Structure 1
Amino acid sequence: MAAPLSGCGLQPMYGGGASSGVAQGLAVVDVPAIPGRDGWLVRKALRDRLGVANSGRGETTPQYRLDVRLDDSLEALGVLNDDTISRERRILRARYQLIDLATGEILLDATAGSDAGIDVVSSEYATIAAEQTALENLARDVAGRMTTRIALTLRERERSNERASESGAQ
């Protein structure tokens, strides 16, 4: 059953575990501070995802920098007859760039986003808690999307370097 899959060109993203080129590339991405509570949450989620490959090793010198700008908004969706809001939508969007620190080249310039619906209830505390929980979940989701795109970019860069090395050796 594995033989047909190998022929289709599909390969695991992190083939080789923590020693793979992608995992090592993720481990050397620096994520500078991002303003605001939403920025703190996204940065924490990014560092958790990117740093997984770096666990158990000493400090590494960053090779890439990830610049992130966030847009967090809350909008009313459901408005009742008495003009009270019954449902909100929280939207978190990130514009990010992955920069090679050695060359200054922008390797990736992309956006990621996610949104969540929130029921507005009579308890203000419960509504605020739901808004905060939604932000925490959105931060993890956006960080996951960003990490996947970064991993794909690094994998493609690794493949390009391998092809260049092979053609240079011939």
Structure 2
Amino acid sequence: MRAVLALLACVALPACGLSPMYAGGASAGVAQGIAAVDIPAIQGRGGWLVKNALEARLGVARNGNRQTPPQYRLDVRLDDSLEALGVLNDDTISRERRILRARYQLIDLATGAVLLDATAGSDAGIDVVSSEYATIAAEQKALENLAVDVADRMATQIAVTLRARAAPQP
């Protein structure tokens, strides 16, 4: 009985319209599109972290060792802020919130068309302790983690956009 249900599920899956994002490996349209994304420098330490995380996530070659000529450019503007959340009776801060937001556009270099105009963001809570060094280290670690999270969100949306663009039109 289980084998019959598993077989029916396998037969029904293609009918629902789901298909693997990267079907076809490196020769797939999505993979080729992702490899052709140019990521210019992004301002600030957070920008440097986001750019590195994006390059790692998208598999974009660094230092000009690109195998695919760029077809797209990803313009990114970051907003990095720290907010005091917990304020004690003596006006000292006990908790902070670090927020990293990115506004980004994927631009087709051939036509200048904006293919994707979106935002991605994430935030993290930080305990402010008596050691200033520990607090600064926690703030920096939060920025590193947020940069990876924001880059992952951006990379997913870019892949979805390029997949829709590479899909054959009916």
TM-score of the two chains, using structure 1 as the length reference:
0.89
Aligned equivalent of 2:85, options 67, 77, 87: 77
Letter in 2 for 1:139: A
> Structure 1 76/139 Cα, relative in aligned 2: closer, same or farther at 3 Å?
same
Which residue number in structure 2 is paired with residue 140 of structure 1? 148
Aligned pairs (5 A) from 1:34-45: 34-45=42-53
Letter in 1 for 2:141: T
Which residue number in structure 1 is paired with residue 5 of structure 2? none
Residues 1:21 and 2:12 are matched in the alignment: no
Residues 1:102 and 2:110 are matched in the alignment: yes
**Deviation for aligned residue 1:58:** 5.5
Query: Unpaired segments of 5 or more residues in structure 2?
Result: 1-8
Letter in 2 for 1:79: V
In the aligned structure 2, how far is the partner of 1:69 from the partner of 1:144?
Answer: 16
Which residue number in structure 2 is paired with residue 117 of structure 1? 125
Letter in 1 for 2:132: E
Residues 1:3 and 2:11 are matched in the alignment: yes
Size of the alignment, in residue pairs? Answer: 160
**Deviation for aligned residue 1:82:** 1.0
SS where residue 130 of structure 1 aligns? helix
In the aligned structure 2, how far is the partner of 1:7 from the partner of 1:24?
Answer: 27
Query: Unpaired segments of 5 or more residues in structure 1?
Result: none
**Deviation for aligned residue 1:59:** 2.5
TM-score of the two chains, using structure 2 as the length reference:
0.89
In the aligned structure 2, how far is the partner of 1:68 from the partner of 1:142?
Answer: 11
**Deviation for aligned residue 1:123:** 0.7
Q: More helix by proportion, 1 or 2?
A: 1
Aligned pairs (5 A) from 1:149-160: 149-159=157-167
CA shift digits 1:102-152 (9 cap, x unpaired): 111100011000000001111111110000000000000000000011111
